[in-house]
A and B are shown apart, each in its own frame.
Chain A
Amino acid sequence: MHPSLINPAVVGYICAMGLALAYLVQRQELVHRIAVLVTLAAWAAHSVALIVRAVELGAPPLGSLSDAISVGVWVIVALELMIEHRTGVRILGAFVLPIVVLLSLKATTARPATLAPALASAWISIHIALAMVGFAAFVFNFVGALMYLLQEHQLKAKRPGAFYYRLPALETLDRLTFRTLALGFPFLTVGLILGAMWARTAWGSTLAFDPLAFFSLVAWVIYAGNLAGRAAGGWHGRRAAYFAIFGFAALVLTLGAGFFLPGRHGS
């Protein structure tokens, strides 16, 4: 990462997270508006940092895992602003921005990465870009599922608590998880296929899986099951929400494997 530019973005995301959480507690309109503005400003700084990084590299900043995560964060924030604007779910930031902050801190503190030379190729850039867009969509799939379970629990328990007042209708949340699943899945699928094709040309075997690839396949199976269940089996609500959370857990393990376990994806 380009430190002088990425740091303002990270600091901005941290401020925006603080404001979004303050809005969750206090629900002051002004706080929400400032939170959105700060998020936008941080995202703009982040965009500039990514462009500078791309110019430095002479290639899209997708070569190392921390660069890729940074791009993923950039997509997540863009989606957050867009979904919040379109659905009117104003507390989305309070759920998504903590994830954004965790990821960007991890991306900036990771060792400066040198990529395994086998990974330097245009195909690999596309593989990573698609995987990151998919990942970003699944962040919202996860957050929507979490919000659904919270609201569903409150409605079943018949004791309206803080979240009852702040969360939108169950139907809205179920629709959000379904749409993000439908958005993320094709990206993840094509990303994985490209990865496997690359593995075949680079290492001579489609099944030359490292830990990252293994967990991402697990995540893909869970998401495929969830999507099939929703499309054909009438899955919805709680069951679909649990699967969204399992799938995201597998994605977190995928990232964890990339960062902490030795493998062909480098670190």
Chain B
Amino acid sequence: MPLFVAGLSHKNAPVGLREQLAVEEDKLRELLRDIQSDGVLPELVVLSTCNRVEVYGVAEAPGEARAAAFRHLCRYRGLDLGAVEPVLYTHLDSEAVRHAFRVAASLDSMMIGEPQILGQVKDAFALAQACETVGPRLHTLFSQAFSVAKRVRTETDIARHAVSVSFAAVELAKKIFAGLAGRAVLLIGAGKMSELAAKHLVEQGAFPVYVTNRTWARAQDLARALSGVAVPWDEMETALASVDIVVTSTGAREPVVRAAAVARVMQGRRGRPLFFIDIAVPRDVEPGVDGLDDVYRYDIDDLKQVVDANLRERAREAERAETLIEREVAKFLTRQGDVEVVPTIVSLRAHLEEIRVAEVKRALARLPEATPETRAALDALSSAMINKILHAPITKLRESSRAGAGRSWREAVHELFGLGRRS
């Protein structure tokens, strides 16, 4: 039975359509059951995020299964299937495997390398498992997708460098200071962005935080919000002398931090670096401080430049990730041959084990005075016999499945041992 993925994503469908089709979790449970009750999709996972709605499944006739799944989806959201159908893509077998790996590894994301998608895929899979719509095929596909995603994350730097201005500032700080623990931060002015940057710094261990503002009450408010200390506006220079990182974001028309003041401050610092993150426009820190030793000043454009460089770095890492995924897809496909016959092997083993345990029990019932050694010997003897008997059929099943003829052998084994209909 072919494996398939059908759906739409930010790559081919506008946000207007995606948001109409997205399903929240509690509805998703019902949806999974409804789709499965049609009987065309023995295995099924539905992934619904703001950037994609996808159905992963195993079906005899993927086209029919896709139509059935999306008919239900559209019915839920009151959409016309005709409007959705033309933008749907479908990937089969190896393509589907590649797609699943790329999605989980965040290579198909709008922001390549963003970390949320893996969690979302894991949630979708867990939900489908809870609804019992996951069978052995999707189980192996998803567990492999998770491990591939983990490899991509650890072996490439795809998600390493910041793609937001405030995180880029934190990263820069880490290239200046050996660790941010215990580094003092001064916030000049109060803006949303500077507050965010300060929060990131504090998360990395920066401490304490000083806040100054022309309006004393505002400084106090923000200091309270950040568990920091408010500093009067005219004592800014004293504060500059003792801190390591300065975040500025005032609405002032003229720079509030003058190069001359910074030059004075630097003399007493004995070479301790001072890092200015200037998020204000117009800028708060005089560009002249660039000429001073141990002073590093990044304004909003500089930070954007760093973000752009980080994005280029991510794109380079994404190429490496793609090669890694190609290798994993190839490996997965060769192994899949085996997976097809694994349920048969498992039920065959379980069946014979059941017989063995029952027979050993019966034999022991007739031997009430058997010593523990005798019991152990009986157990070992019967286990050894089962394993020897099973060796040839299991090898044959694996080989035939790899050669593409797994099905007839599977059926023969089921018939011969009376294993029931489920395959």
Of residues 134 through 161 on chain B, the ones whose CB sits less than 8 Å from some CB of chain A are: 154-155, 157, 161
Q: By the criterion CB–CB under 8 Å, are B178 and A172 in contact? A: yes
Q: By the criterion CB–CB under 8 Å, are B293 and A238 in contact? A: yes
Most-contacted residue by chain A among B157, B175, B290, B293 (CB, 10 A): B175
What residues on A are CB-neighbors of B175 within 8 Å?
Answer: 151, 155, 164, 167-170
What residues on B are CB-neighbors of A237 within 8 Å?
Answer: 271, 293-294
Q: By the criterion CB–CB under 8 Å, are B293 and A169 in contact? A: no
Closest 9 CB pairs of A and B: A236-B271, A171-B178, A172-B178, A158-B302, A160-B309, A169-B178, A234-B270, A170-B176, A169-B175
Closest B residue to A169 using CB positions:
B178
What residues on B are CB-neighbors of A264 within 8 Å?
Answer: none
Contact of B313 with A by CB under 8 A: yes
Q: By the criterion CB–CB under 8 Å, are B177 and A171 in contact? A: yes
Cα A155 to Cα B271 in complex, Å, equals 16
Of residues 290 through 323 on chain B, the ones whose CB sits less than 8 Å from some CB of chain A are: 290, 293-294, 296, 298, 302, 305-306, 309-310, 313, 320
Of residues 12 through 68 on chain A, the ones whose CB sits less than 8 Å from some CB of chain B are: 26-30
Question: Which residue of A27, A164, A170, A172 contacts B273 across the interface (Cβ within 8 Å)?
Answer: A170
Chain A to chain B contacts (Cβ below 8 Å), 22 pairs? A27-B157, A29-B155, A30-B155, A155-B172, A155-B175, A155-B176, A159-B305, A160-B305, A160-B306, A161-B309, A164-B175, A165-B157, A165-B161, A168-B175, A168-B178, A169-B178, A170-B177, A171-B178, A172-B178, A236-B270, A236-B271, A237-B271
Closest A residue to B303 using CB positions:
A158
Contact of B174 with A by CB under 8 A: yes
Cα A156 to Cα B224 in complex, Å, equals 34
Contact of A175 with B by CB under 8 A: yes
B residues with a Cβ closer than 8 A to A are 154-155, 157, 161, 172, 174-179, 270-271, 273, 290, 293-294, 296, 298, 302, 305-306, 309-310, 313, 320
Contact with B along A135-175 (1 / 0, CB 8 A): 00000000000000001000110111100110111111001
Cα A5 to Cα B289 in complex, Å, equals 57
CB distance from B315 to the nearest CB of A (A): 14
Closest A residue to B271 using CB positions:
A236
Number of inter-chain CB pairs below 8 Å: 58
- With A159-B309, A165-B313 as contacts: A171 and B296 at CB distance below 8 Å: no
Cα A139 to Cα B401 in complex, Å, equals 61
Closest A residue to B160 using CB positions:
A165
Cα A236 to Cα B272 in complex, Å, equals 9
What residues on B are CB-neighbors of A155 within 8 Å?
Answer: 172, 175-176, 296
Q: By the criterion CB–CB under 8 Å, are A156 and B296 in contact? A: yes
Q: By the criterion CB–CB under 8 Å, are A169 and B302 in contact? A: no
CB distance from B15 to the nearest CB of A (A): 32
Cα A27 to Cα B157 in complex, Å, equals 9
Q: By the criterion CB–CB under 8 Å, are B305 and A158 in contact? A: yes
Q: By the criterion CB–CB under 8 Å, are B306 and A158 in contact? A: yes
Most-contacted residue by chain B among A160, A167, A235 (CB, 10 A): A160
What residues on A are CB-neighbors of B313 within 8 Å?
Answer: 165
Question: Which residue of A29, A169, A175, A236 contacts B174 across the interface (Cβ within 8 Å)?
Answer: A169
CB distance from B292 to the nearest CB of A (A): 10
Further contacts, 10 of them, CB under 8 A, given A159-B305, A169-B174: A30-B155, A155-B172, A155-B176, A159-B309, A170-B175, A170-B177, A171-B176, A175-B178, A234-B271, A238-B293
CB distance from A133 to the nearest CB of B (A): 26
Cα A171 to Cα B298 in complex, Å, equals 18
Closest B residue to A173 using CB positions:
B178
Closest A residue to B290 using CB positions:
A156
Question: Which residue of A30, A161, A169 contacts B176 across the interface (Cβ within 8 Å)?
Answer: A169
Closest B residue to A165 using CB positions:
B313
Closest B residue to A238 using CB positions:
B293
Q: By the criterion CB–CB under 8 Å, are A171 and B305 in contact? A: no
